[in-house]
């Protein structure tokens, strides 16, 4: 397949690019380093040094012989998007090119607007480039489990059959996002659904939970091929943050009551899910939605797990609840269906002590780079 990865410099984009290239697909990555600039502007630099895309592609080629083509450009500009799609004529477009941080989107008007414009414009341009240039291409779009919020009923995979006054129909599952970032993903799904049902595009929307991990088959070949591993309050996801806090001797920052439940997955499983979706595409005129997670935990359970492994390694980990900077339920029902990707062939890597221990070892090797000022939350929802 010819695969175009939008947002190929990101935490997920770069490992995905290497995974597809290693599997023999022809890969182009496109990015404008937006997240790097935002991280720099908010003093949220990643723990591990990740060279720029051209350098990473050269290192990857030198190590494996596989080529990854690089295009640097702002995909929220329609001319850039159209040129790249025209030049690469992809069979599959993997769309990660969004500002991914909920706290960043809640920082103020400028950041909210930037998130809104970038995320919606890139999705819109992607849809139009496909419709005009490669209408048979399959779009694999990264959504988020946060689109659904935390409803008091089971969460289905994207769709819900509703019976009302004796009649039935199927609708997009109701959504109630908890940040402006998550809301842009809701709007993306609506846009995609409009263009799928009107123009017969083929789209898979992956509702993914928070990801953790550093290791993938290709990233492990050379330390310079590592993903951008953030532990700050803005770009770091909770498991990665807790592991760095454990190494830094900072009590694990459980926000509020700690009963917030989410569906987590290992970075390796993101790669599996995206490749499974790409290699078994949606039909023309289908918006296929999968819930992309492998197991659910409360924040307190995660903290206990990290403490358990950290203590075995002599780190003496403490846990401390701090006032919740977000507006979210701290005790709630949470039961998402997630069988679709398993049926496609996903073999999960669960959050074992071994996996957490290996991550802690890698972080310990880089402990001198931890800046503890980046750990406590700096953005409040209200």
Active site residues: 144, 181, 185
Of the candidate spans 66-74, 97-105, 150-158, 265-273, the one that interacts with ligand USQ by CB under 6 A turns out to be: 97-105
Tokens, residue 185: 């993903």
CB of 216 to ligand USQ, least distance (A): 18
Out of 8, 158, 210, 310, point to the residue binding ligand USQ (CB under 6 A). Answer: 210
Out of 6, 22, 102, 201, point to the residue binding ligand USQ (CB under 6 A). Answer: 102
Beta carbon nearer to ligand USQ, 19 or 330? 330
User: Interface with ligand USQ includes 328 (CB under 6 A)?
Assistant: yes
Beta carbon nearer to ligand USQ, 209 or 310? 209
Out of 238, 246, 346, 356, point to the residue binding ligand USQ (CB under 6 A). Answer: 238
CB of 288 to ligand USQ, least distance (A): 19
Beta carbon nearer to ligand USQ, 92 or 144? 144
User: Interface with ligand USQ includes 260 (CB under 6 A)?
Assistant: yes
User: Interface with ligand USQ includes 100 (CB under 6 A)?
Assistant: yes
Q: Which residues pair with 93 in a beta bridge?
A: 4, 139
Q: Angle at the Cα of 6 (from 349 to 244), degrees rounded to 5?
A: 45
Angstrom CA distances, 369 to 49, 276, 363, 364, stand at 10, 36, 9, 10
Out of 10, 158, 209, 340, point to the residue binding ligand USQ (CB under 6 A). Answer: 209
Give a three-class secondary structure readout of the chain: CEEEEECCCCCCHHHHHHHHHHCCCEEEEEECCHHHHHHHHCCCCCCCCCCCHHHHHHHHHHHHCCCEEEEECCCCCHHHHHHHHHHHCCCEEEECCCCCCHHHHCCCHHHHHHHHHHHHHHHHHHHHHHHHHCCCCEEEEEEEHHHCCCCCCCECCCEEEEEECCEEEEEECCCCCCCHHHHHHHHHHHHHHHHHHHHCCEEEEEEECCEECCCCCCHHHCHHHCCCCCCCCCCCCHHHHHHHHHHHCCCEEEECCCCCEEEEEEHHHHHHHHHHHHHCCCCCCCEEEEEECCEEEEHHHHHHHHHHHHHHCCCCCCEEEECCCCCCCCCCCCCECCCHHHHHCCCCCCCCHHHHHHHHHHHHHCHHHCCHHHCCCCCCCC
CB of 377 to ligand USQ, least distance (A): 7
Residue nearest to ligand USQ (CB): 146
- Site residues for ligand USQ, 159-188, by CB under 6 A, read 182
Out of 146, 213, 227, 340, point to the residue binding ligand USQ (CB under 6 A). Answer: 146
User: Interface with ligand USQ includes 336 (CB under 6 A)?
Assistant: no
User: Interface with ligand USQ includes 145 (CB under 6 A)?
Assistant: yes
- Site residues for ligand USQ, 344-373, by CB under 6 A, read none
CB of 260 to ligand USQ, least distance (A): 3
Number of residues that bind ligand USQ (CB under 6 A): 21
d(CA 275, CA 217): 14
Of the candidate spans 138-146, 161-169, 187-195, 268-276, the one that interacts with ligand USQ by CB under 6 A turns out to be: 138-146
CB of 148 to ligand USQ, least distance (A): 9
User: Interface with ligand USQ includes 253 (CB under 6 A)?
Assistant: yes
User: Interface with ligand USQ includes 119 (CB under 6 A)?
Assistant: no
User: Interface with ligand USQ includes 237 (CB under 6 A)?
Assistant: yes
List residues binding ligand USQ (CB under 6 A): 100-102, 144-146, 182, 208-210, 237-238, 241, 253-255, 260, 262, 299, 326, 328
């Amino acid at each position: 397949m010819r695969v175009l990865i939008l947002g190929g410099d990101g935490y997920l984009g770069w490992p995905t690019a290497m995974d597809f290239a290693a599997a023999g697909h022809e890969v182009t990555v496109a990015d404008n380093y937006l997240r790097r600039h935002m991280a720099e502007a908010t003093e949220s630099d990643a723990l591990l040094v990740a060279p720029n895309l051209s350098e990473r592609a050269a290192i990857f080629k030198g190590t494996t012989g596989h080529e990854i083509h690089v295009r640097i450009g702002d995909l929220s500009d329609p001319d850039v998007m159209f040129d790249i799609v025209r030049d690469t004529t992809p069979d599959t477009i993997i769309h990660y090119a969004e500002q991914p941080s909920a706290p960043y989107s809640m920082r103020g008007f400028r950041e909210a607007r930037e998130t809104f414009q970038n995320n919606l414009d890139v999705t819109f341009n992607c849809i139009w480039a496909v419709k005009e240039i490669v209408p048979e291409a399959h779009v694999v779009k990264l959504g988020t489990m946060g689109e659904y919020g935390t409803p008091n009923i089971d969460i289905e995979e994207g769709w819900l059959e509703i019976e009302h006054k004796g009649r039935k129909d199927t609708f997009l599952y109701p959504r109630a996002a908890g940040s402006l970032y998550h809301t842009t993903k809701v709007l993306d799904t609506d846009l995609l659904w409009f263009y799928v049902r009107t123009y017969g595009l083929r789209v898979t929307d992956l509702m993914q939970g928070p990801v953790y991990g550093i290791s993938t088959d290709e990233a492990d070949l050379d330390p310079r091929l590592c993903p951008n591993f953030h532990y700050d309050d803005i770009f770091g996801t909770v498991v990665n943050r807790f592991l760095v806090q454990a190494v830094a001797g900072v009590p694990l920052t459980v926000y509020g009551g700690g009963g917030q439940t989410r569906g987590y997955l290992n970075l390796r499983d993101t790669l599996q899910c995206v490749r499974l979706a790409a290699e078994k595409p949606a039909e023309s005129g289908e918006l296929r939605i999968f819930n992309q997670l492998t197991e659910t935990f409360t924040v307190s359970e995660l903290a206990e797990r990290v403490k358990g492994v950290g203590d075995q390694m002599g780190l003496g980990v403490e846990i401390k609840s701090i006032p919740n900077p977000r507006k979210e339920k701290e005790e709630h029902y949470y039961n998402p269906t997630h069988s679709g990707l398993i049926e496609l062939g996903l073999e999960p890597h669960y959050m074992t002590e071994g996996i957490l221990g290996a991550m802690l070892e890698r972080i310990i090797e880089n402990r001198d780079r931890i800046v503890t000022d980046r750990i406590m939350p700096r953005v409040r929802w209200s």
